């Protein structure tokens, strides 16, 4: 059976088919073992042979070899093998990352592993109305958890009437309302709600220690008097960096739109990458591939910081790739290909920001 895309759920389905065939089992009865990307590469690894109950290095290795033998006959798998200990290694053909780009353009569906997420998203707590920064931090993290899990119950401290949406500018949704003289209200007035929510969701710990940082100049519990880098509109502020990457991808795609985009079907053809991916493109494709797994893990474990860190990594990978391509673009690349990749990045970044309750500007 041909592999249609290198999207995580397509690769997982191929692995499960091969494992079920090797075991004589039902693919739906096998435990979850999502193929994960190896660092700085497009090669993947799966623990499916270990997850079905085989012991490492004993029954797992022969089973992994049997699965790899079957995967090598799958159209779209460039290579498959068994690693010592029973892990399965596989590499999709580079051409299949073109369809992954097209899948990622609908970021909400992509981050939910190809399924349409619950709609509308749960509402947001009015952080400024809460009495303490600790209460606001807890509420922001709970808001993100509800959105990641698709739960619709109300948040504490009142619900915002309007939902956060992808906007056209950087104006904060509540900028025109009277400032509330509470610690969260003063913080939001100093750094903006986007940076406040990002700061509250960025650390692993539920109860930050006094003075705890999540990065250089990034307090886990910023205050209006000591906001650190959260008050800056620079790359030192992760909230700004991620939102800027979204705005850049949207704007640059519009700049590049031209004759090749005109008359093109809105869904796009089955896109193939232009030759072998360069290192910058490999890093960006890998970051896109990681999205569904990061969102699923953040929702399953109730840890919004996992999504925050993922979005930061995707934004960084985008800027590394986009740097040489600002302007005329890299030699030999089709404009439509660059536009699709920027659409994929903006789609995933925008969907991820909305899950955190953060606006996604579309203009620089």
Q: How many CB atoms lie within 10 A of CB 75?
A: 11
pTM score, two decimals? 0.89
Would you say residue 9 has pLDDT above 50?
Answer: yes
215 & 244 share domain: no
Average pLDDT over residues 37-63: 81
Peptide bond into 322 cis (omega under 30): no
pLDDT in tens, 26-45: 988 888 888 999 876 789 99
102 & 133 share domain: no
Buried b (16+ CB within 10 A) or exposed e, 189-219: bbbbbbbbbbbbbbbeeeebeeeeebeeebb
44 & 191 share domain: no
Residue 361 lies in a domain: no
Q: How many CB atoms lie within 10 A of CB 60?
A: 23
247 & 104 share domain: yes
Q: How far is CA 155 from CA 9, 162, 181, 251, 301, in A?
A: 32, 14, 21, 34, 19
Angle between helices 279-301 and 304-322 (to 10 degrees): 170
pLDDT in tens, 194-249: 999 999 999 999 999 999 999 999 999 999 999 999 999 999 999 999 999 999 99
Domain that holds residue 188: 127-164+172-230
**Domain final residue pick, 189, 215, 230:** 230
Residues 222 and 193 sit within 8 Å (Cβ to Cβ): no
**Domain final residue pick, 183, 199, 230:** 230
106 & 73 share domain: no
**Domain final residue pick, 203, 230, 257:** 230
133 & 29 share domain: no
251 & 337 share domain: yes
Number of domains in the chain: 3
Q: What percent of the chain has pLDDT over 70?
A: 81
285 & 144 share domain: no
CA torsion sign for 334, 339, 340, 346 is positive
215 & 181 share domain: yes
Average pLDDT over residues 64-70: 95
Length of the chain (residues): 364
């Amino acid at each position: 059976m041909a592999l249609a895309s290198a999207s995580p759920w397509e690769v997982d389905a191929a692995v499960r088919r091969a494992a079920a065939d090797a075991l004589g089992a039902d693919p739906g009865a096998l435990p979850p073992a999502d193929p994960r990307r190896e660092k700085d590469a497009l090669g993947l690894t799966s623990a499916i042979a270990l997850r079905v109950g085989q012991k490492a290095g004993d029954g797992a290795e022969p089973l992994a070899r049997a699965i790899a033998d079957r995967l090598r006959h799958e159209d779209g798998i460039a290579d498959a093998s068994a690693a010592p200990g029973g892990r399965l290694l596989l590499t999709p053909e580079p051409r299949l990352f073109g369809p992954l780009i097209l899948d990622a353009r609908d970021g909400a569906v992509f981050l939910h592993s190809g399924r349409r997420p619950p709609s509308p998203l749960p509402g947001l707590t009015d952080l400024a109305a809460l009495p303490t920064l600790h209460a606001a931090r807890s509420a922001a993290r709970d808001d993100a958890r509800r959105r990641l899990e698709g739960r619709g119950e109300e948040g504490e401290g009142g619900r915002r009437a309007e939902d956060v949406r992808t906007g056209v500018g950087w104006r904060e949704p509540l900028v025109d309302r009277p400032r509330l003289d509470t610690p969260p209200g003063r913080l939001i007035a100093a750094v903006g709600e986007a940076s406040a929510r990002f700061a509250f969701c960025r650390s692993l710990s539920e109860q930050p220690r006094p003075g705890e940082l999540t990065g250089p100049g990034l307090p886990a519990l910023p205050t209006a008097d000591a906001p650190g880098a959260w008050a800056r509109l620079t790359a030192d502020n992760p909230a700004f960096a991620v939102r800027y990457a979204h705005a850049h991808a949207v704007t640059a795609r519009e700049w590049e739109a031209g004759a090749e985009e005109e008359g093109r079907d809105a869904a796009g053809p089955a896109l193939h990458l232009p030759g072998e991916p360069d290192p910058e493109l490999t890093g960006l494709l890998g970051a896109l591939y990681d999205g569904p797994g990061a969102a699923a893990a953040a929702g399953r474990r109730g840890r919004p910081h996992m999504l925050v860190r993922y979005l930061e990594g995707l934004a960084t990978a985008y800027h590394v790739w986009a740097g040489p391509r600002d302007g005329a673009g890299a030699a030999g690349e089709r404009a439509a290909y660059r536009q699709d990749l920027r659409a994929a990045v903006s789609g995933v970044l925008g969907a991820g920001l909305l899950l955190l309750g953060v606006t996604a500007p579309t203009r620089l």
